[in-house]
Amino acid sequence: MHVAEDRFLRYLQIERNASELTLKSYAEDFGSLHDYLTQRVGHITEPGQLGISELRGYVSYLNECGYAKTTIARRLASLRSFFRFCQREQLVEGNPAKALRTPRVGRKLPKFLTTEQIVKLLEAPPANEVDGLRDRAILETFYSAGLRVAELVGLNLDDWDQDAQILHVFGKGKKERIAPLGKHATKALDNWVAVRKPEEAAPPQLKNALFLNRFGTRLTTRSVGRMLEKYIQLTGLDQLISPHTLRHTFATHLLDGGADLRSVQEMLGHKSLTTTQIYTHVSTQRLKDTYQQAHPHAKVQD
C-alpha cells in the first residue's frame, strides 16, 4: 500500500501541481485508513487486496469514531482518486471506492464581516511600527484581493505591479490569476515596502517574499493566523474569524455592491461557478433578514 500511495502523491505533486497542503491532506487520509486496517482487518500490502467490504467497514469505523460528515466525504473522495490512479497504473482491476455512498453534507453559509467590522479590523494594526505597517498591508491585501492565506504568503515582490495596481497570484494547481488592488491596499503596501528589510543572507526565494517575518524571511501561514488572532482580541471581534473569513468578506461585499457572479468567480480563482454561488445565498439571506426586520407585514402580529 505504501509504495502505491507514494507513487500517487508524487503524481499529484509533479503532474497535477498539488500544493503542500493538498499532499498533507491526502497523506493524513491514508494514515486514517492504515489505522483502521491495523486495528480491524490486518496487514494489507497491496491496493488490490482492498475490496468493497473492507472499505464499507472503514466508513463504519469513521462513523463510530465520530468524524464529521465533511471529513468522511473528503476521505472517500481521496480513496476514489487514489483507486482511479491505481486503475490507470494497472495496480488494480476496478475501483472499489466507486460504490461507496458519500454522506450528504449540508453546505454552511460562509462567515463574513460587516463593513463596520472589517474597517475596525483594518485599522487595528499600529501605523507607527514596522510590524503594524506589515500587518495592515496584509489585512488590506486580504480584503482587497480576496486571497487564500497560502496565496498571500507565497507572494513575491515582483508579483505586485505597482503601476497597474494588480497582483499576479498563483492559486491552486499553480494557476495564475490577476487580482486588482484598491487604493487603500496599494497605499498600505507602499508604506510596508518602504520599511521592509529582508535578511541579506537568506536565499533569493525567501528574500524576495513580499511579506517578511521578524527574521527577514518569508512569513508562514501559521504566523498570519497568529497575527489575525492578536487583532481579533484587540478589537473584540468574533473569535471564530480566520484568514479565510476575510476572503469570504471580500466576495460577499462585492456581490452586495452589485458585482456579477462570473467576475467574482474569476477574482476568487474558483474553477467552478458552483463554488462561487454560495455567496449569492449569503446575500439573499441578508436581504431576507433585512425584509423581516423592516417590512410592516413581514411578521404575523399576535
Q: Where, residue-wise, is CATH 1.10.150.130 in the chain?
A: 2-99
pLDDT of res. 221: 92
CB atoms within 10 A of CB 69: 14
For 209-229, b where at least 16 C-beta lie within 10 A, e where not — what string? bbbbbeebbbbebeebeebbe
CATH of 2-99, one of 2.40.70.10, 1.10.3720.10, 1.10.150.130, 3.40.50.10860: 1.10.150.130
Query: What kind and span of H or E run contains 215?
Result: none
The residue from 74, 148, 218, 253 that is catalytic is 148
pLDDT the model gives residue 204: 76
- Nearest alpha-carbon partner for 267 in 282, 252, 281: 252
188-210: average pLDDT: 87
- Whether the pLDDT of residue 104 is over 80: the answer is no
Three-class DSSP category at 284: helix
Return the C-alpha cell found at 40: 480491524
Q: What pLDDT sits at residue 291?
A: 63
Mean pLDDT of 268-297: 72
Show the beta-strand stretches assigned E in the chain.
160-161, 166-170, 176-180
Q: Does residue 279 carry a catalytic annotation?
A: yes
In whole numbers, what is the pLDDT of the chain averaged over residues?
A: 87
Active site residue 291: no
Q: 75, 136, 196, 247: which is the annotated catalytic residue?
A: 247
The pLDDT assigned to 298 comes to 65
Q: Which amino acid belongs to residue 81?
A: S
Q: Which of 17-21, 196-200, 244-248 has the lowest mean pLDDT?
A: 17-21
Model confidence at 152: pLDDT above 70: yes
Does residue 247 carry a catalytic annotation?
yes
Percent of the chain with pLDDT over 70: 92
Catalytic residue among 7, 69, 80, 172: 172
Strands (E), 73-198: 160-161, 166-170, 176-180
- Which carries the bigger pLDDT value, residue 85 or residue 300? 85
Any idea which architecture 115-291 has in CATH?
A: Orthogonal Bundle (1.10)
Active site residue: 84, 184, 207, 244, which one? 244
Take residue 245 and report the three cell numbers written for it: 473569513
| Coil vs helix vs strand at 162 | coil
pLDDT score of 302 more than 60: no
- Per-residue pLDDT reduced to its tens digit, 226-250: 999 999 999 998 778 899 999 999 9
pLDDT at 297 over 60: no
Q: Which residues belong to CATH 1.10.443.10 in the chain? A: 115-291
Band of the pLDDT at 286, cuts 50, 70, 90?
A: low
Q: Tell me, yes or no, if the pTM score tops 0.85.
A: no
DSSP symbols for 33-62: HHHHIIIII----SGGG--HHHHHHHHHHH
Residue 216 C-alpha cell reads as 527577514
Reduce the secondary structure of 184-214 to three states and give it as a string.
Answer: HHHHHHHHHHHHCCCCCCCCHHHHCECCECC
Sign of CA dihedral 241, 118, 223, 168: positive
pLDDT top residue among 292 and 211: 211
User: Which residues are within 8 A (CB) of 82 and not within 5 positions of it... i.e. 6 or more apart?
Assistant: 4, 5, 8, 26, 30, 47, 97
Q: What angle do CA 170, 19, 63 make, to 5 degrees?
A: 135
pLDDT band at 110 (very low <50, low <70, confident <90, very high): confident
Residue 81 — pLDDT band, cuts 50, 70, 90?
Answer: very high
pLDDT 10s digits, 21-58: 889 999 999 999 998 988 888 777 788 888 999 999 99
List 26, 58, 61, 279, catalytic entry: 279
The span from the CA of 73 to the CA of 197, in Å, is 45
Output the nine-digit C-alpha cell for 296.
410592516
Nearest to 55 by CA among 92, 22, 99, 15: 99
CB-based contacts of 240, cutoff 8 Å, min separation 6: 111
pLDDT tens track for 208-220: 899 999 888 899 9
The per-residue pLDDT for 21 is: 83
